[in-house]
Amino acid sequence: MLHHLLTTNELKVEEIYQLLEDARRFSKGMTWRTEQQMFTANLFFENSTRTKCSFEVAERRLGLGVIPFEVETSSVQKGETLYDTVKTLEAIGVNAIVIRHGQDRYFDELVGKVNIPILNGGDGCGHHPTQSLLDLLTIQQEFGRFEGLKIAIIGDISHSRVARSNADALTRLGAEVIFSGPEEWFDNHSLQSAKYRPIDEAIREADVVMLLRVQHERHQRKGSFTASEYHNQFGLTLEREGQMKPNSIIMHPAPVNRNVEIADSLVECKRSRIFKQMENGVYVRMAALKRSIESLMGGNQYEAAYSERKLHSI
Amino acid sequence: MLHHLLTTNELKVEEIYQLLEDARRFSKGMTWRTEQQMFTANLFFENSTRTKCSFEVAERRLGLGVIPFEVETSSVQKGETLYDTVKTLEAIGVNAIVIRHGQDRYFDELVGKVNIPILNGGDGCGHHPTQSLLDLLTIQQEFGRFEGLKIAIIGDISHSRVARSNADALTRLGAEVIFSGPEEWFDNHSLQSAKYRPIDEAIREADVVMLLRVQHERHQRKGSFTASEYHNQFGLTLEREGQMKPNSIIMHPAPVNRNVEIADSLVECKRSRIFKQMENGVYVRMAALKRSIESLMGGNQYEAAYSERKLHSI
Amino acid sequence: MLHHLLTTNELKVEEIYQLLEDARRFSKGMTWRTEQQMFTANLFFENSTRTKCSFEVAERRLGLGVIPFEVETSSVQKGETLYDTVKTLEAIGVNAIVIRHGQDRYFDELVGKVNIPILNGGDGCGHHPTQSLLDLLTIQQEFGRFEGLKIAIIGDISHSRVARSNADALTRLGAEVIFSGPEEWFDNHSLQSAKYRPIDEAIREADVVMLLRVQHERHQRKGSFTASEYHNQFGLTLEREGQMKPNSIIMHPAPVNRNVEIADSLVECKRSRIFKQMENGVYVRMAALKRSIESLMGGNQYEAAYSERKLHSI
pLDDT in tens, A40-69: 999 999 999 999 999 999 999 999 999 999
Interchain CB contacts (distance < 8 Å): A and B: 76
pLDDT (0 to 100) of residue B297 = 82
Contacts of A46 (CB under 8 A, 6+ apart): A100, A101, A102, A122
Domain assignment present for C143: yes
- CB of A196 within 8 A of CB of A178? yes
Interchain contact, A281 vs C92, CB within 8 Å = yes
In a shared domain, residues C241 and C145: yes
ipTM (interface predicted TM): 0.93
Q: Could you tell me whether strands A118-123 and B249-251 are parallel, antiparallel, or unpaired per DSSP bridges?
A: unpaired
Question: What percent of chain A lies above the pLDDT cut of 70?
Answer: 92
In a shared domain, residues C20 and C139: no
Q: Is C31 annotated as a binding residue?
A: no
pLDDT (0 to 100) of residue C217 = 57
Q: What angle do CA B48, B54, B58 make, to 5 degrees?
A: 145
**DSSP letter (8 states) at residue C126:** S
In a shared domain, residues B17 and B36: yes
Interchain contact, C255 vs B75, CB within 8 Å = yes
In what helix (H) or strand (E) does residue A164 lie, and over which residues does it extend?
helix A161-172
Interchain contact, B50 vs A93, CB within 8 Å = no
- CB of C128 within 8 A of CB of C101? no
**DSSP letter (8 states) at residue C124:** T
| pLDDT for C301 beyond 90 | no
- CB of B79 within 8 A of CB of C257? yes
Among C65, C84, C88, the residue with its CB nearest the CB of A60 is C65
Question: What percent of chain A lies above the pLDDT cut of 90?
Answer: 77
Distance CA A221, CA A210 (A): 23
Distance from CA of C84 to the nearest CA of A (A): 8
Q: pLDDT-based confidence at B131, cuts 50/70/90? A: very high
Q: Mutate one of A78, A82, A109 to test the B interface: name it (highest B CB count within 10 A).
A: A78
In a shared domain, residues A103 and A177: no
**Which alpha helices (H) appear in B101-260, and where do they start and end?**
129-143, 163-172, 199-205, 227-234, 238-242
pLDDT (0 to 100) of residue B19 = 98
Average pLDDT over residues B256-265: 96
- CB of A235 within 8 A of CB of A262? yes
| pLDDT for B142 beyond 80 | yes
**Tens digits of residue pLDDT in B18-66:** 999 999 999 999 999 999 999 999 999 999 999 999 999 999 999 999 9
pLDDT (0 to 100) of residue C185 = 81
Name residues 258-297 of chain B within 8 A of A (Cβ): 275-276, 278-279, 281-282
Among the listed residues B175, B129, B167, the one whose alpha carbon sits nearest the alpha carbon of residue B281: B129
pLDDT (0 to 100) of residue A126 = 83
Interchain contact, B39 vs C50, CB within 8 Å = no
Contacts of B292 (CB under 8 A, 6+ apart): B2, B3, B4, B5, B96, B117, B119
Average pLDDT of every residue of chain B:
91
pLDDT (0 to 100) of residue B217 = 56
Among B44, B257, B282, the residue with its CB nearest the CB of A93 is B282
Higher pLDDT, residue A222 or C47: C47
**DSSP letter (8 states) at residue B70:** -
Higher pLDDT, residue A96 or A190: A96
- CB of A82 within 8 A of CB of A110? yes
Among C57, C70, C255, the residue with its CB nearest the CB of B80 is C255
Give helix A161-172 / helix A129-143 axis angle, nearest 10°: 50
- CB of C82 within 8 A of CB of C110? yes
| pLDDT for B310 beyond 80 | no
Distance CA C48, CA C70 (A): 12
Q: Which residues of A66-91 are buried (b: 16+ CB within 10 A; e: fewer)?
A: bbbbbbebbbbebebebebbbbbbbb
Interchain contact, C88 vs A254, CB within 8 Å = yes
A120-134, B188-202, C71-85, C127-141, range with the lowest pLDDT: B188-202
In a shared domain, residues A262 and A166: yes
Distance CA A7, CA A27 (A): 23
Interchain contact, B75 vs C276, CB within 8 Å = no
A70: closest chain B residue by CA? B49
Q: What is the CATH number of the domain that holds A216?
A: 3.40.50.1370
Average pLDDT over residues B214-218: 69
In a shared domain, residues A119 and A23: yes
Distance from CA of B42 to the nearest CA of C (A): 12
| pLDDT for C300 beyond 50 | no
The HSE-up count of residue B265 (CA atoms within 13 Å, CB side) is: 4
Q: pLDDT-based confidence at A302, cuts 50/70/90? A: low
Distance CA B107, CA A231 (A): 59
Domain assignment present for A4: no
Q: Count how many domains chain B has.
A: 2
Contacts of A89 in chain B (CB under 8 A): 49, 53
Average pLDDT over residues C232-260: 97
Q: Mutate one of A32, A44, A49, A265 to test the C interface: name it (highest C CB count within 10 A).
A: A49
Name residues 22-61 of chain C within 8 A of A (Cβ): 37, 39, 41
Domain assignment present for B4: no
Domain assignment present for B137: yes
In a shared domain, residues B28 and B43: yes
Strand spans (E) along chain C: 31-34, 39-44, 65-67, 96-101, 118-123, 150-154, 176-180, 195-196, 208-211, 249-251, 304-307
C199 touches chain B (CB under 8 A): no
In what helix (H) or strand (E) does residue A40 lie, and over which residues does it extend?
strand A39-44
Distance from CA of B92 to the nearest CA of C (A): 5
Domain assignment present for A42: yes
What size, in residues, is chain A?
314
Q: Per-residue DSSP letters for C235-275?
A: SB-HHHHHTS-TT-EEE--S---BTTTB-GGGTTSTTB-HH
Q: Could you tell me whether strands B31-34 and B304-307 are parallel, antiparallel, or unpaired per DSSP bridges?
A: antiparallel
pLDDT (0 to 100) of residue B187 = 74
Higher pLDDT, residue A308 or B282: B282
Query: Which residue type occupies C183?
Result: E
In a shared domain, residues C133 and C270: yes
pLDDT (0 to 100) of residue B299 = 47
Distance from CA of B81 to the nearest CA of C (A): 9
Q: Is A152 in a helix, a strand, or coil?
A: strand
| pLDDT for A183 beyond 90 | no
Q: pLDDT-based confidence at C310, cuts 50/70/90? A: very low
Domain assignment present for C6: no
Interchain contact, B76 vs C254, CB within 8 Å = no
Distance CA C282, CA B91 (A): 9
Among A41, A75, A93, the residue with its CB nearest the CB of B47 is A75
Burial of C195 (0-12, 13-18, 19+ CB in 10 A): exposed
Among the listed residues B102, B109, B9, B26, the one whose alpha carbon sits nearest the alpha carbon of residue B288: B26
Distance CA B138, CA B279 (A): 10
Name residues 53-112 of chain A within 8 A of B (Cβ): 65, 67-70, 72-80, 84-85, 87-94
Distance from CA of B210 to the nearest CA of A (A): 18
Contacts of C249 (CB under 8 A, 6+ apart): C138, C142, C207, C208, C209, C271, C272, C273
* Dihedral sign from CA coordinates of A264, A265, A268, A271: negative
pLDDT (0 to 100) of residue A308 = 54
**Tens digits of residue pLDDT in A77-128:** 888 999 999 999 999 999 999 999 999 999 999 999 999 999 999 998 889 9
Distance CA A113, CA A129 (A): 21
In a shared domain, residues A146 and A260: yes
Question: What distances in angstroms separate CA A140 from CA A16, A46, A212, C93, one per listed residue?
Answer: 12, 30, 20, 21
Contacts of C91 in chain A (CB under 8 A): 275-276, 278-279
Q: Is B129 annotated as a binding residue?
A: no
In a shared domain, residues C102 and C159: no
- CB of B94 within 8 A of CB of B66? no
In a shared domain, residues B228 and B94: no
Among the listed residues B208, B195, B52, B236, the one whose alpha carbon sits nearest the alpha carbon of residue B141: B208
Q: pLDDT-based confidence at A314, cuts 50/70/90? A: very low
| pLDDT for A74 beyond 80 | yes
**DSSP letter (8 states) at residue B69:** -
Average pLDDT over residues C217-236: 77
Contacts of B90 (CB under 8 A, 6+ apart): B114, B115, B116, C275
Interchain contact, B282 vs A92, CB within 8 Å = yes
Query: Which residue type occupies A88?
Result: T
Sheet of C65-67: strands edge to edge? C65-67, C39-44, C96-101, C118-123
Q: Mutate one of C43, C47, C260 to test the B interface: name it (highest B CB count within 10 A).
A: C47
Domain assignment present for C5: no
Among A56, A70, A256, the residue with its CB nearest the CB of C84 is A256
**Tens digits of residue pLDDT in A202-220:** 999 999 999 999 876 555 4
Interchain contact, A93 vs B47, CB within 8 Å = no
Beta bridge partners of A34: A304
pLDDT (0 to 100) of residue A162 = 83
All chains having 3 or more CB pairs closer than 8 angstroms to chain A = B, C
| pLDDT for C263 beyond 80 | yes
| pLDDT for A231 beyond 90 | yes
- CB of A238 within 8 A of CB of A266? yes
- CB of B156 within 8 A of CB of B212? yes
pLDDT (0 to 100) of residue B179 = 94
Interchain contact, B70 vs A73, CB within 8 Å = yes
- CB of C152 within 8 A of CB of C210? yes
Q: pLDDT-based confidence at B153, cuts 50/70/90? A: very high
Q: pLDDT-based confidence at B308, cuts 50/70/90? A: low
Question: What percent of chain C lies above the pLDDT cut of 90?
Answer: 77
Q: Is A78 annotated as a binding residue?
A: yes
- CB of B48 within 8 A of CB of B312? no
pLDDT (0 to 100) of residue C219 = 52
Distance from CA of A306 to the nearest CA of B (A): 22
Domain assignment present for C7: no
Distance from CA of C45 to the nearest CA of B (A): 9
Interchain contact, C76 vs A49, CB within 8 Å = yes
Distance CA C179, CA C193 (A): 9
- CB of B32 within 8 A of CB of B305? yes
Domain hosting residue A119, numbered range? 13-128+278-311
pLDDT (0 to 100) of residue B303 = 62
Question: What distances in angstroms separate CA B171 from CA B147, B149, B165, B187, one per listed residue?
Answer: 9, 10, 10, 20
Query: Which residue type occupies C266?
Result: L
In a shared domain, residues B192 and B232: yes
| pLDDT for A309 beyond 50 | no
Distance CA C70, CA C42 (A): 9
